Amino acid sequence: MKDFWIFPTLAVILVVTVYLGSTWILIFLLLVILRIGLLKNVRLLILSFILMGIFLIRCQFLNQTAAENVSQIKTVVLSPDNLVVKGNSLSGELRSGKDQLRFIYSIKNQPEQNFWQNLSTMASATVTVKKIEKIAGPRNPGEFDFQRYSANKGLKYTVQLDTIRNLKKYDPQTIFEKINVLRIHIINYLKKLPKWMRIQAQSLIVGYNDPLEKDFLEILSVLGIIHLFSLSGLHVLILLTMIRKLTSFFRIPV
């Protein structure tokens, strides 16, 4: 029986993968179960189903625990490059401990709206969670899978915030946070440029696209892959030019 341990192992891995959202993997899971059945080894088949059940229950338990932890968040960190102010709605991404979350918040007044629009540094705050929802997957064939897109960024839940209080400047603790602060400074510095030059510079240098610049996003969708290739080529040209300047300054032959 030891020679067939690979099959229950594969079954467990595939069950966990399907649970995490890759439903198309279900085909391979069924094929593995069919292969185990063709071995006509009842003990192996029973063991496989027991292990799949154990890991499925474990995943469900971890998911519920994560949801409970999210509902209990109090202190969060907000970054201006991950925020969108649209009318009286504030949305974007926040971090609480090791959890990354999408959030929605209703701005209460004009001074508060001005504050969020002019925020230029990372900030910490105390929040009250009103509602929590798991990010939903696509409902129609061919629809953009926002759930998978968010999962790749480590985002699984959307929280609706009732209040945001005690805002204060946040001092970066890790190297990644310090890099993020540098990115924010570059974005703010490039805001001094003319509109189209600013949009292109922010997109090429730090990968930032202002969600309020609908014109640019519409142009990107129209130009499609040709524009993306030209952007990539220009980006490479800028990097090569910078490398040549540096090597020339330090008298390093290239």
The domains of the chain are located at 2-70, 73-169, 191-249
What is the pLDDT, as a whole number, of residue 104?
92
CA pair distance 191, 194, nearest whole angstrom: 8
Q: How many CB atoms lie within 10 A of CB 13?
A: 15
Query: For position 14, what pLDDT does the model report?
Result: 83
pTM: 0.61
User: Tell me, what's the pLDDT at 182?
Assistant: 92
- Mean pLDDT per segment of 10 residues, for the chain of length 254 residues? 75 81 77 84 85 84 65 82 88 85 90 88 88 78 73 81 89 88 90 84 82 66 60 71 83 71
Residues paired with 125 in a beta bridge: 76
Give the model's pLDDT for residue 105.
92
pLDDT of residue 24: 74
CATH of span 73-169: 2.40.50
Q: What's the confidence (pLDDT) of residue 34?
A: 86
E-strand ranges in the chain read 75-86, 89-96, 99-106, 123-134, 155-169
Per-residue model confidence (pLDDT) at position 205 = 84
- Asked if residue 134 lies in contact with residue 70, where contact means CB atoms within 8 angstroms, the answer is no
At 253 the pLDDT is 72
- Residues 6 or more apart whose CB falls under 8 angstroms from that of 158 comprise 101, 102, 103, 104, 132, 133, 134, 135
